Amino acid sequence: MDFGKFLETPEYDIKIITYRDIFQSEALENSLFGDEYKDLSAIIKLDSKDMEKMGIKSGNIVYLKNKYGDVVVKAVESDSENPHRGYAYMPNSPWSNSLVSDETGNTGVPNYKLIDASISDAKGEDIADIEKLEVVNV
């Protein structure tokens, strides 16, 4: 993938909170390599006002990046009744783990729950299958 082209599109800072989803867990039990698990995992839920500001629509493909890794996922409008501007939600999965820091402050515990990253539109890009993620191909 040519990540250089994303430099031309505007980037926005976002804090990602990860969570568990029973439908995603069920899909994982059925097939880690199936489309259902990928569809329920490789997503980011954004506040509607943030989406407006970023010019991102529900269903758009977005590029997430920080110093620990990068990943392409689908943007979805959050169904939360409470606004959560600046924060986005991602189900816990290898896609969200692509962005988790390896710095633990000598605790052995990475910060899985709160991830700082940048988000930008990734028009034309595909969401990587689980086996194409960087973690398994380095």
Partner 1 sequence: MEDEDKYNVCTACSILCDDIEIETENNSITGVYTACRKGVSRIQTCNEPMPCTLDGKDTDVDTAISETANILKKSENPLIFGLGNSTEGAQKKAIELAKQLNANLDDTSSFCQGPVVEAILNGEINYTCTLDDVRNNADVIVYWGADPANSHPRHLSKYTYFPRGKYRQKGYDEDRTAIAIDVRESSTAEICGNNSYLIPPQKDEELIDALIDALSGKVPKVSFEMNKKRILELANILKKAKYGVIFAGLGLVYSLDNFEPIKRLMDKLNEVSNFYFNPMIGHYNMRGFNQNLFNETGYINRVKFKDSEVKHGYEYSVVELLKNKSVDSALIIGSDPMCSLPGSIARNLNKIPIITIDPCETLTSRKSRINIPSALSGVECGGSAIRMDGVRVNFEPMIETSKISDEEILRRVMEEL
Task: Give kind and range of the element (H or E) at residue 31.
Answer: none
Q: From the CB of residue 113, how many other CB atoms can be counted at a distance below 10 Å?
A: 12
Nearest to 9 by CA among 123, 132, 130, 128: 123
Among 6, 38, 63, 98, binds partner 1 (CB under 8 A): 98
Among 47, 89, 119, 127, binds partner 1 (CB under 8 A): 89
Among 13, 35, 126, 134, binds partner 1 (CB under 8 A): 134
117: exposed, middle or buried (Cβ count in 10 Å: 0-12, 13-18, 19+): buried
Q: At which residue do the structure tokens 């959560």 appear?
A: 84
Site string for partner 1, 53-72 (x = CB under 8 A): ---------------xx---
**Does 47 contact partner 1 by CB under 8 A?**
no
Q: How many residues bind partner 1 (CB under 8 A)?
A: 48
Residue 79 exposure: Cα atoms within 13 Å on the Cβ side: 0
Pairing of strands 43-46, 69-77: parallel
Min dist. Cβ of residue 93 to partner 1 (A): 8
Tokens read off for 113 = 């729950």
**Does 35 contact partner 1 by CB under 8 A?**
no
**Does 80 contact partner 1 by CB under 8 A?**
yes
Which residues make up the interface to partner 1 (CB under 8 A)? 15, 17, 19-23, 25-26, 29-34, 68-69, 80-82, 84, 87, 89, 93-94, 97-102, 104, 106-114, 130-131, 133-136, 138
